[in-house]
Amino acid sequence: MQPLQDYAVTLGATYLGDGKTGFEVWAPLASRVDLHILAPKDRVVSMEAAPCGYHQAVADNVEPGSLYRYRLNDKERPDPASRFQPDGVHGPSQVIPFDFAWHDQSWSGIALKDYLIYELHVGTFTPEGTFDAIIPRLDYLTELGVTAVELMPVAQFPGARNWGYDGVYPYAVQNSYGGAEALKRLVDACHGKHLAVVLDVVYNHLGPEGNYLWDFGPYFTERYKTPWGPAVNFDAAESDEVRKFFIQNALYWVTEFHIDTLRLDAVHAILDRSPRPFLLELSEAVHEQAKRLNRRIHLMPESVDNDPRLLRARELGGFGLDSQWNDDFHHCVHVLLTGERTGYYADYSQLNQLAKSFRDGFVYSGEYSRFRKRRHGSASRDIPAERFIVFSQNHDQVGNRMMGDRLFQLAGFEGAKLAAGAVLLAPFIPLLFMGEEYGETAPFAYFISHGDPELVDAVRKGRRGEFRALTGEKEPPDPESEATFQSAKLNHDLRAQEPHRALFGLYQRLIRCRKEIPCLVDLNKDAVEVVGDDKKKLLFVRRWSGEDEAFMLFNFNSSAMTFEPPFACGRWSKLLDSAEEEWRGRGSAIPERLDAEKETALRISPLAFVLFRRELKNSGSAARERAAGPAGSAGPARSAGPARSNR
């Protein structure tokens, strides 16, 4: 393991006090590097060459607020490790203070199994589009019941509006969002509400505008190609210092900003053949820092490869990352609810694939993929359930649609309720995308604000070409138009209207069930039975923990279906039925109580789900048990254990 001190955050500008600031930059491609202080007084300071291509200086009379650039031979560039770009990606860098009056000294993070993630985009979550504007809405998120707030990337990008994946200064917090101090205020406020903070970071590429890393060193390599051009150099000559640049960045977020979890964007595009891959080195450094800080800090990669090595322990040949986004789960739910079969959705046409995802995690674990025209994935049965993050929507699956349309429009109100049940009752970590909890109708299409007209034109042409094969001549929203960005702003007032209010209430009830019912709290693959009926499009799931037991039935059919639960004994009380009037449903024929010994058949409404909990022998009436809530204070009565399947 690399000594942690090797990753000490020294890159960039560090205010040392008494008017002194230390500067360090890696610039092996420059024969001479000078520090150009622009404000408050214009002057040039020579930098001293250090081993491995670094250049250093300590400058007097440079305090927070001072502006500077690096002069590489005869051209000037902002600092690659800039902490703030007040005038955007092409402007000078600014020295900022590192001190902040934190109030979260008692916060140590939350266990992985307790994460219930709410993903949001800072610029569109509120009318103001800033970190500070999110703080008054944290009570709303705690009312909903989530336990973690995930921020889409906040590293400085061109202009004032962007998804964040065009960031070019990994250490600098976006100026239009409020900068570093405002982000710290938000994190501090989240911890005060017992909310963990997940930050999306992008280590697989940098954006196309304002990326000056090429002038400093071999940050990129032609050895591999990615959708964004040459890959980040993680395994070629001089890659050690490139790795340090990004590992220091990860440590910067978790240490200086008290971030609890880093979501690692598209790690399948981090191309690295070295014996000790970058992701393993990153995992070791971050988890070692977590021990030093006495905090729970997690790494959550996104990958399309279905490779369980990301999640396996380092001792077992894995990378030791903590929990992965599972696109397979989303694709199964989406196809069942919308009927779409284009692109990668062509691989997901059977309900039994969703059943496999409930049991194992990945759907594709070595099977042939029609979309990829090859076998895909590896088995994930041995990976613990809390190592998978599931969702019915996220920024990619909404925003990469041509019109940015949400599931509420695609699948309707009943479909949205069914998707909520599938995600929140699954034995994995759930993720909600901002607004889905009340059926937001604002589209979340792709948007940018680049300053280069040729680049803007290239992005427009690229978006048209991407969708032309699917939609003909239909035009996607103009990504450069401010109207596209403004249309993505959430309308929180919808939550007070029907059917949005009912949907929000259903999300609250599901989350409460998930938190309070022991067998739903316990994320254990070995305590899950799943039965799928492809013909009827029915999914039966039974979960248990100790003597507590529940089952749920999901109907993805547009017609009512009859189903006989595959258990042989027990009495069961209905806790939640999405077809009932309470949730503005079409009405339900499912009784309040079931006696399995009478082989009761259930007739479930179209696009509906139902949740039952097993009664124990000394339990009272179903009415009393249901009135007590999802986990009534008296708790369930005792039994000999989970009901056994008669299959």
| Active-site choice (79, 119, 150, 265) | 265
Spatial contact of 115 and 196, defined as CB atoms under 8 Å apart? yes
34 flagged as catalytic: no
How many angstroms separate the CA atoms of 363 and 347, rounded?
10
| Strands 54-59 vs 67-72: parallel, antiparallel or unpaired | unpaired
How far, in Å, are 367, 497, 526 from residue 309 at the CA level? 18, 46, 21
DSSP state for residue 475 in the 8-state scheme: P
Q: What is the largest distance, in Å, between two alpha-carbon atoms of the chain?
A: 88
How many angstroms separate the CA atoms of 260 and 580, rounded?
39
DSSP state for residue 511 in the 8-state scheme: H
Task: Please give, one letter per residue, the 3-state secondary structure of 494-506.
Answer: HHHCCCHHHHHHH
Helix (H, G, I), strand (E, B) or coil at 548: strand
Spatial contact of 220 and 233, defined as CB atoms under 8 Å apart? yes
Please, what is the angle between helix 500-516 and helix 407-424, to 10°? Answer: 20
Other CB atoms within 10 Å distance of the CB of residue 624: 12
As given in the structure block, the two tokens for residue 19 are: 């008017």
Question: First and final CA of the chain: distance in angstroms?
Answer: 50
Helix (H, G, I), strand (E, B) or coil at 512: helix
DSSP state for residue 220 in the 8-state scheme: E
How many angstroms separate the CA atoms of 588 and 608, rounded?
9
How far, in Å, are 36, 106, 120, 123, 160 from residue 128 at the CA level? 35, 31, 14, 7, 12
Report the residue count for the chain.
647
Q: Pseudo-torsion of CA 323, 326, 329, 334, nearest 10°?
A: 130
Q: Pseudo-torsion of CA 368, 370, 371, 373, nearest 10°?
A: 70
166 flagged as catalytic: no
Other CB atoms within 10 Å distance of the CB of residue 343: 12
Q: Which of 265, 260, 256 is nearest to 207 (CA)?
A: 265
Spatial contact of 66 and 21, defined as CB atoms under 8 Å apart? yes
Q: Would you call the peptide bond into 499 cis, given omega within 30 degrees of 0 as the criterion?
A: yes
| Active-site choice (302, 322, 396, 625) | 302
Spatial contact of 263 and 286, defined as CB atoms under 8 Å apart? no
Q: Which of 267, 303, 270, 284 is nearest to 380 (CA)?
A: 303
Catalytic residues: 265, 302
